[in-house]
A and B are shown apart, each in its own frame.
Chain A
Amino acid sequence: MSDLTAFTLAQARDALRNKEFSALELTDAHLAAMEKARGLNAFVLETPDRARDMARASDARFAKGEGGPLEGLPLGIKDLFCTDGMRTTACSHILDNFVPTYESTVTANLWRDGAVLLGKTNNDEFAMGSSNETSHSGPVVSPWRRRGSDVKLVPGGSSGGSAAAVAAGLCIGATGTDTGGSIRQPAAFCGIVGLKPTYGRCSRWGIVAFASSLDQAGPFARSVRDCAILLRSMAGHDPKDTTSVDVTVPDYEKSIGASIKGMRIGIAKEYRLPGMAAEIEGLWQQGAQWLKDAGAQLIDISLPMTKYALPAYYIVAPAEASSNLARYDGVRYGLRVAGRDVIDMYERTRASGFGKEVRRRVMIGTYVLSAGYYDAYYLRAQKVRTLIKRDFEKCFGEGIDAILTPATPSAAFAIGEKGRADPIEMYLNDVFTVTVNMAGLPGISVPSGLDGQGLPLGLQLIGRPFEEETLFKLGAVIERAAGNFKPEPWWA
């Protein structure tokens, strides 16, 4: 039998329906691959018993001629999604032993459609990071290496475990969450496809909250089609999340291969950063040319507020985080460190339970919301956010269908290389992705080439609200032109 971990999700789905192999065989092949790849640290919890039970149930449904859209397909789930009876930690010490008694809506939707849980994937603590280095479970090692080098690279973050697992063939697809780029940046670093849907497209219920007005769940996979298939199952209205939108979920897979003739693609001059690597600039032009060759029209646009998105984000996101993370008090769940009195208990619990980056962001958030500073920081940032969104609305109002940008300002860097002395150095990773969260828009990262050292680079497409289909159409065109990228399996 051929290697069952080499299939795309769509290929495996079709093969399962044609009974070329069983769901249990497919799951076992992935469990074996996970075992060999433990050195990557992509999973923080492997759930082989649950996986085999679910796969057997899928085979039973196939035997009866039944089966959902994802029947028997084994997935990795970011450790931010609560999974009933399966430890969920957000990769924070403060939730070390947290075992939810409920299931997040997004994962419940995946199981409803027949998917199989392989395990929980590593991420930056509470999704705060761009390299997966802030995880209490330790960093993830990227399956990619520079040509001729064995230096360990980051997979990006915060959804680094999911991206690395998909790229290394440990799972056939995975979930992520994206608050400022946490799906699209690791997808770009790992040479796979990642999509952040429109705010409200997927329910946030049961996902450990970071910044509620920015967080959105989305899929990772090795092809644009696979992401389209996953999003259809993940998306949908949920009465338990009042910000989830009651808009019909289309059959996204139908977008793959559709014509993009006449589509108007915006190229924003503000994304051309001073000192940007020639390789990134070249890739961007190449991507634009591919879209043009397929019949799209390229239009120069301006998004003047772009440079203010990242600073505004570093007010809004920590402010919301400081409020969301107030729940970790050592009383209702999670870690408790004893103290002299209740306040001392809170302070010791949170000092010990939160890692360095989380403590820093909670403190920034507390400061910008504190009396006397609220107007100068938080209120001003929310006004700037209105202006950022207005920039996009103006472009879309003038007939732009989507905007093409680089996904990241560089390829992956080494573990320990960035952000040690200056936190801002790490934050700048999200300079191209964060605008999308600030405006609530959908964005996709599609692998588009390799840099001079053999590392993957991605392009980002930004769409109108709830027009993920446009992104799948355009993403598929780039994918067809660029081809697929796979790391050498040095870890196995």
Chain B
Amino acid sequence: MSVDADTVRRVAHLARIAVAEDEVENLRGELNAILAFVEQLAEVNVEGVEPMTSVMPMAMKMREDVVTDGGIADDIVANAPAHEHHFFLVPKVVE
């Protein structure tokens, strides 16, 4: 499988990465090189093989259903580019 310029633009948008028009062709080439490299997996017979979900066999651990942390709102917003009264500020999303 290989990607065309439209697919590059669509994937960039899905990934929320702005791509300039003059970058599209270059990216298309690079993505296709990687896709061509991984293409060899198609020759492996995976009939009846379970996909890996956990590399070390282990049961999912359960935690006590209690509050163990909190009261650190200052810490949570400490690195935010814009915040006010412990809220993150974003550009207007509702007209």
The residues in B between 1 and 22 inclusive whose CB is less than 8 angstroms from any CB of A are: 1, 3, 7-8, 11-19
Residues on the A chain within 8 Å of B53, using CB: 382
Instruction: Report Cα–Cα, A365/B14, bound state, in Å.
Output: 11
Residues on the A chain within 8 Å of B12, using CB: 363
- Chain A nearest CB: distance from B88 CB in Å? 5
The answer to whether B14 and A370 have CB atoms under 8 Å apart is yes
The answer to whether B55 and A308 have CB atoms under 8 Å apart is no
- Chain B nearest CB: distance from A47 CB in Å? 19
Which of A199, A330, A384 interacts with B56 by CB under 8 Å?
Answer: A199
The answer to whether A347 and B13 have CB atoms under 8 Å apart is yes
Residues on the B chain within 8 Å of A427, using CB: 37
The answer to whether B88 and A331 have CB atoms under 8 Å apart is yes
- A: interface residue count bin: 35 or more
The residues in A between 185 and 225 inclusive whose CB is less than 8 angstroms from any CB of B are: 198-200, 213
Instruction: Give 5 nearest A-B pairs by CB, closest first.
Output: A440-B55, A382-B51, A333-B79, A336-B81, A351-B18
Residues of A within 8 A of B (CB): 97-99, 101-102, 198-200, 213, 239, 242-243, 245, 305, 307-308, 311-312, 314-315, 322, 326, 329-336, 338-339, 341-348, 350-351, 354, 359-360, 362-367, 370, 373, 376-377, 379-387, 389, 422-424, 427, 438-440, 465
The answer to whether B15 and A382 have CB atoms under 8 Å apart is no
Which of A239, A335, A370 interacts with B81 by CB under 8 Å?
Answer: A335
The answer to whether A350 and B3 have CB atoms under 8 Å apart is no
Instruction: Report Cα–Cα, A350/B17, bound state, in Å.
Output: 5
The answer to whether A386 and B50 have CB atoms under 8 Å apart is yes
Most A C-beta atoms less than 10 A away, residue of B50, B81, B90: B81
Instruction: Report Cα–Cα, A373/B39, bound state, in Å.
Output: 13
The answer to whether B52 and A351 have CB atoms under 8 Å apart is no
Most A C-beta atoms less than 10 A away, residue of B3, B50, B55, B76: B55
The answer to whether B91 and A341 have CB atoms under 8 Å apart is yes
Instruction: Report Cα–Cα, A383/B48, bound state, in Å.
Output: 9
The answer to whether B40 and A342 have CB atoms under 8 Å apart is no
The answer to whether A383 and B49 have CB atoms under 8 Å apart is yes
Q: Is the interface of B mostly helix, strand, loop or mixed?
A: loop
* B61 on the A face (CB < 8 A): yes
Q: Which residue of B lies closest to A338 (CB)?
A: B91
Interface size on B, residues (CB 8 A): 52
The answer to whether B80 and A333 have CB atoms under 8 Å apart is yes
Instruction: Report Cα–Cα, A312/B88, bound state, in Å.
Output: 38
- Chain A nearest CB: distance from B50 CB in Å? 6
The answer to whether B55 and A245 have CB atoms under 8 Å apart is no
- 25 CB contacts below 8 A, A to B, read A97-B79, A99-B79, A199-B56, A213-B54, A239-B63, A242-B60, A308-B44, A311-B38, A329-B16, A331-B80, A332-B88, A334-B79, A347-B17, A348-B18, A350-B16, A364-B35, A367-B3, A367-B31, A370-B14, A377-B38, A382-B52, A383-B44, A383-B49, A422-B33, A439-B55
Which of A239, A332, A387 interacts with B46 by CB under 8 Å?
Answer: A387
* B66 on the A face (CB < 8 A): no
Instruction: Report Cα–Cα, A464/B69, bound state, in Å.
Output: 37
Residues on the A chain within 8 Å of B44, using CB: 305, 308, 380, 383-384, 387
Residues on the A chain within 8 Å of B80, using CB: 331-333
The answer to whether B49 and A351 have CB atoms under 8 Å apart is no
Contacts beyond the supplied A329-B16, A347-B18, A385-B52: 7 A-B pairs with Cβ under 8 Å: A347-B13, A347-B16, A350-B15, A350-B17, A367-B31, A423-B33, A423-B34
Residues on the A chain within 8 Å of B93, using CB: 341-342
Residues on the A chain within 8 Å of B8, using CB: 363
Residues on the B chain within 8 Å of A346, using CB: 16
Which of B41, B60, B72 interacts with A101 by CB under 8 Å?
Answer: B72
Instruction: Report Cα–Cα, A97/B80, bound state, in Å.
Output: 10
* B25 on the A face (CB < 8 A): no
The answer to whether B40 and A311 have CB atoms under 8 Å apart is yes
Residues on the B chain within 8 Å of A440, using CB: 55-56
- Chain B nearest CB: distance from A4 CB in Å? 37
Q: Which residue of B lies closest to A315 (CB)?
A: B38
Residues on the A chain within 8 Å of B72, using CB: 101
Residues on the A chain within 8 Å of B15, using CB: 322, 350, 362-363, 365-366
CB within 8 Å for A351 and B19 given contacts A101-B72, A243-B56: yes
Q: Which residue of B lies closest to A102 (CB)?
A: B75
Residues on the A chain within 8 Å of B88, using CB: 331-332
Which of A342, A362, A422, A424 interacts with B17 by CB under 8 Å?
Answer: A362
